[in-house]
Amino acid sequence: MKAIVGLGNPGKDYQDTRHNIGFKVIDAIADDERITIKKNSYNSLIGIGKVNTEQIILVKPLTFMNNSGTAVKDIVKRYDVKLEDLLVVYDDLDLVLGRFKIKKDGSGGTHNGMKSIIDHLYNDGFPRLKIGIDVPGRRENGSSVDYVLNNFSRAEKLEIQDVLPEAADAVECFITHGLEKAMNTYNQRQ
């Protein structure tokens, strides 16, 4: 089984923030594949279904961003997910808005959700899809924490609406054709 985990914060207050782009990608995949996402006892909203012939679980941790590792560890253990079959989708301040990148592994950088997952899994060897949220002037206009916890501007929302289907397609490529094909296909477009 492949697990696709979108990072974000639960609750209406965070629903449209930049930090919740991972949740948005999970929702787009669930819509595409007609998978129902519901609450479970593993600190997450989950949906189980198939993409082509591949069994998948879509995951939206409810532990808040900085504690995402707790939920991810539970899902990996409960569903016996191999690390190479775990794909984490999250916002990235080092990528420009509208771009995304698929990576095989790596550190959590400055992203607390990724740091938490790596700490709980004792491993950084799992694929990830990083979606850019940086815009010109962001670094000069306040803290990163304030920025990621604020909603997208109207213009940014339009740009993100264009990115979501392509990011969902990249995830579906990972599911059906593997990491290398997804990286070769979608990282080239960026």
Q: Note the pLDDT of residue 190.
A: 57
Name residues whose C-beta falls within 8 Å of residue 44's C-beta, 6 or more positions apart in sequence.
59, 60, 61, 62, 63, 71, 74, 75
Q: Is 19 a catalytic residue?
A: yes
Helix boundaries (H) for the chain = 21-33, 68-78, 112-121, 144-148, 154-177, 179-182, 188-189
**DSSP secondary structure code for residue 67 in this structure:** G
Question: Which residues are 56's β-sheet partners?
Answer: 2, 49
* Predicted local distance difference test score (pLDDT) of residue 109: 87
Q: Which two tokens stand for residue 124?
A: 């950084």
CA distance 100 to 111: 15
Q: pLDDT tens track of the chain, all 190 residues? A: 999 999 999 999 999 999 999 999 999 999 999 999 998 877 999 999 999 999 999 999 999 999 999 999 999 999 999 999 999 999 999 899 989 999 999 999 889 999 999 999 999 999 999 999 988 777 666 678 888 888 998 999 999 999 999 999 999 999 999 999 999 999 977 5
Phi, psi of 184 (to 5 degrees): -65, -35
Amino acid at 58: L
Q: In the beta sheet, which residues pair with residue 89? A: 6, 129
**Closest to 59 in 3D by CA, of 113, 112, 8:** 8
Q: Counting every residue, how long is the chain? A: 190
The active-site residue out of 19, 111, 120, 177 is 19
Q: Which pLDDT score is estimated for 142?
A: 67
Task: Say whether 107 sits in a helix, a strand or coil.
Answer: coil
pLDDT for position 140? 66
pLDDT at 143: 75
What are residue 136's phi and psi, to 5 degrees?
A: -55, 135
Considering the four listed CATH numbers 3.30.450.40, 3.40.50.300, 3.40.50.1470, 3.30.110.40, the one that applies to the domain covering 2-189 is 3.40.50.1470
Separation of alpha carbons 24 and 15, rounded Å: 9
Question: What gap in Å lies between CA 188 and CA 182, rounded to an integer?
Answer: 10
Query: pLDDT at position 61, please?
Result: 96
Which residue ranges make up each domain of the chain? Answer: 2-189
